[in-house]
Structure 1
Amino acid sequence: MSILAGAPWLLAHRSMLGINKPQKLSLYGIDYVLWQDKTGKVNALPNACPHMGAMLSEGWCHEGKDQTSVVVCPFHALEFDGEGCTILPGSQKKTLPQLAPLELIIQNDFIWSYGGHEPQIPIPNILNEIASEYELIGHTADTSVETDLLTMLLNMHDYNHQNGTHRPLFRIEEVLFKSFSDQGHHSHAFYSMPTASTNLVEKLTNLDSLLLPKVIEAHLENYFPFLIIFHVENDLGKAKQIHLFVPESETRTRTYVLMYGLPKNPVFRLLGKKFLNFAKVVVEQDADILHKIYPNTPQKIKLNNEVGMDWVKRNFASWPQVTEPNLSKQAD
């Protein structure tokens, strides 16, 4: 399967769900309805009502006396609990499950799933570690992109596209690769990106430019195939910009960003929305360029420092095993 069965996928953070607000999500070509009740219980069922196929995510939740809730079909108001059972009109008896729940793994505020497949790799503890030390700034850029998972991952690990795709945002002049550490399904990449200088008029008309250093020092920590962490540190504080990926189908990939911060200066908290906006624009620019690529074009040119892309290709081809060679390298 080209969407890597047996990998864990972070479907959502609790802050993205709300209470008793059903929402649609897709995984491995199946649509689900996801909702959270007041007790904190999170439920996920196939989104098609087993009566006449209405989208349950377009319905609403009905709360019981114990604050648990059921999802209600918008067509005939049939109610389904988290096990997929309902009570038919005129009957007081609960049916057997009519919908098979999607198995979820809840770790604190993180909602994971293997999509019904046998786990092939464990869920890393890195997000729990970040959440225990850093404050949640928020989430942004929840986007469904019309591209397959491999193409999405190759783009995200293409360090050379920073001064092309993201030049309008960061005014990056070049990418100076430093090192890549290959640890199987886990890796680290380090590189520097000098940015173009701005004059006073440009700074006053675009205050966001004041947040950009003269040289962006990039440290990307990668967990194949589901997340990338961009580690950021400056005089104001530290931030963890976490990019997530979910294979909605063979041809569509969902991506979104979670951001955490550790302030050193009170100003850092005031800039939270600015940080989120930067991340949102990055995702929008990536999604835009992915719509402007001819698929299956033979790659006749190979640039320096495509080691991150080579790492993705290797892990994709050998999934779930990790094969040699080790791709760790230093800058030439």
Structure 2
Amino acid sequence: MLTNLWYVAEWSKAVKDKPVRVKLLGQNFVLFRDKAGKVNCLSDVCIHRGGSLSKGWTTDRNCVACPYHGWEFDAEGKVQFIPSRGEGAPIPERARIDAYPTEERYGMIWVFLGDLPEEERYPIPEFPEYDDKANWRAVEVDYNWTGSVDRVVENGIDIAHTAFVHPGFGYQEMADKNEILKVDRGEYWGSSDNVLYPPQLEGNFGLMKLFRADKAATYVTPAFYLPGHCVRLHIKVNSWMEMIIFDANTPIDENTTRSFAVQVRNFFKWPIFDNGAKKRTKKVFGEDGDIVAELSPNYLPESLEHEVSVEQDKFMGAWRMIRRKHIEEKGWKIDTKAMKPFEGEKVFTIPSPGRRANPHFKWALDTVPLVPPKRRSVPAQAKDSTEPESV
């Protein structure tokens, strides 16, 4: 699990007038709206006696109150009122918890979990079709995985598995015909162009059969983004019909992932077709979920030493390389093993921008330990350990 990235914490519609608890990167957080409607995010722990702020309430001070003793925390994590001391009483300097930047996009609440200043953060991935209501119809789907987020993202960009896991998307006998045409990648993203030869379309009261013949060439472009651990799957059904599945994959903990998915389509844009779109999207997630839950090991291997890959795996290799770079060079990976001895005895928190801005402040909570970067340079001509083997 990586810090210093944007993650989706919850659907916007789920956070109204009461605080909401969410779990990300193995830690608990509280989301609450102020009077202006802005969503705020804090660590879900009162540094007085450990109360859960998400079980409290919002106040006239634009704060969230702890249900145990009523301490009120503002959007910056600072205590503004201690009822037992009365109005106007001084507040201890250390009465503060971590607060995290938030944004609402695509019907989702995004939270930046890390301490990087704003100008150094990777951006939230673009999804312009979501706001283009005139040309695209959107539906939302939620799915919980038993599996690490790294495995979930890799599954989402793996075209070769479709012929075996998704009967509606591929034939096993056509597996060697499906082809990767092009792979692009940047510092924190990657995309690939592919051609597949899937079965005839189904759904929408049988109408889909009219729009693509059996085994007709279909062009599919999967993409991944490190921020949000997002996967974007763009499917060109035919020359005029397109659909996109955009899912943000949030690591709840090492073994659990929650996908916030939006599917948009530029055809059959009437509400009567929404339930069918949701049902088919959930079916695909379910087929993938059964496979991912049984993968060994649960976590993504750091190299190919104990795996064998071929040229059809090169796009997944791009995902692994970018992820590994941010672990080994930037040191963004949470060291969950170092936290195990303190389970149930100590509360950790994700480092926030407020900590970096106040380096001499003595915080009450310790931050999660991180795996130290290796700080090694790799010659440009060296073979990347995520590259497939020659055959």
If the length of structure 1 is used for normalisation, what is the TM-score?
0.75
After the TM superposition, which residues 234-313 of structure 1 pair with which residues of structure 2 at under 5 Å, given as runs? 234=237, 238-263=242-267, 265-267=268-270, 269-295=271-297, 299-313=306-320
What is the CA RMSD across the aligned residues, in angstroms?
A: 3.8
Q: Deviation string for 1:30-76 (max 9, x for gaps)?
A: 2101123452211111112334434333x253453xxx754344455
| 8 Å contact kept, 1:172–1:193 | no
| 8 Å contact kept, 2:243–2:266 | yes
Amino acid of the residue matched to residue 250 of structure 2? V
| 8 Å contact kept, 1:20–1:69 | no
| 1:25 matched residue in structure 2 | 22
User: Tell me, what secondary structure is at the counterpart of 1:312?
Assistant: helix
Q: Deviation string for 1:7-31 (max 9, x for gaps)?
A: 333434534x342243222333321
1:61 to 57, 64, 75: 57
User: Tell me, what secondary structure is at the counterpart of 1:308?
Assistant: helix
Separation of aligned partners in 1, 2:49 and 2:206: 53
| 2:335 matched residue in structure 1 | none
Q: Which ranges of structure 1 fall in alignment gaps of 5 or more residues?
A: none
User: Tell me, what secondary structure is at the counterpart of 1:248?
Assistant: strand
Which protein is bigger by CA-based radius of gyration?
Answer: 2
| 8 Å contact kept, 1:141–1:283 | no
After the TM superposition, which residues 1-332 of structure 1 pair with which residues of structure 2 at under 5 Å, given as runs? 3-15=1-13, 17-37=14-34, 39-57=36-54, 59-62=55-58, 64=60, 69-75=62-68, 78-84=71-77, 85-90=79-84, 91-93=86-88, 95=91, 98-106=95-103, 111-118=109-116, 122-124=122-124, 126-127=126-127, 129-134=128-133, 137-143=138-144, 145-167=145-167, 170=169, 172-173=171-172, 174-175=174-175, 176-184=178-186, 185-196=188-199, 211=208, 213=212, 214=214, 215=216, 216-224=218-226, 226-234=229-237, 238-263=242-267, 265-267=268-270, 269-295=271-297, 299-319=306-326
User: Tell me, what secondary structure is at the counterpart of 2:5?
Assistant: coil
Separation of aligned partners in 1, 2:307 and 2:103: 45
Number of residue pairs matched?
Answer: 311
Separation of aligned partners in 1, 2:64 and 2:115: 25
Q: Deviation string for 1:164-205 (max 9, x for gaps)?
A: 2223x546444412323223233322334434469xxxx7xx
Task: Give the direction of change, closer, same or farther, for the CA distance of 1:232–1:208 in structure 2 (3 Å limit).
Answer: farther
Amino acid of the residue matched to residue 242 of structure 1? F
If the length of structure 2 is used for normalisation, what is the TM-score?
0.65
Task: Give the direction of change, closer, same or farther, for the CA distance of 1:300–1:232 in structure 2 (3 Å limit).
Answer: closer
Q: Deviation string for 1:258-302 (max 9, x for gaps)?
A: 233445x554x4322322232222223322222212217974543
Q: Which ranges of structure 2 fall in alignment gaps of 5 or more residues?
A: 331-376
Task: Give the direction of change, closer, same or farther, for the CA distance of 1:107–1:266 in structure 2 (3 Å limit).
Answer: closer
Separation of aligned partners in 2, 1:255 and 1:312: 18
Separation of aligned partners in 1, 2:164 and 2:205: 19
Separation of aligned partners in 1, 2:28 and 2:198: 42
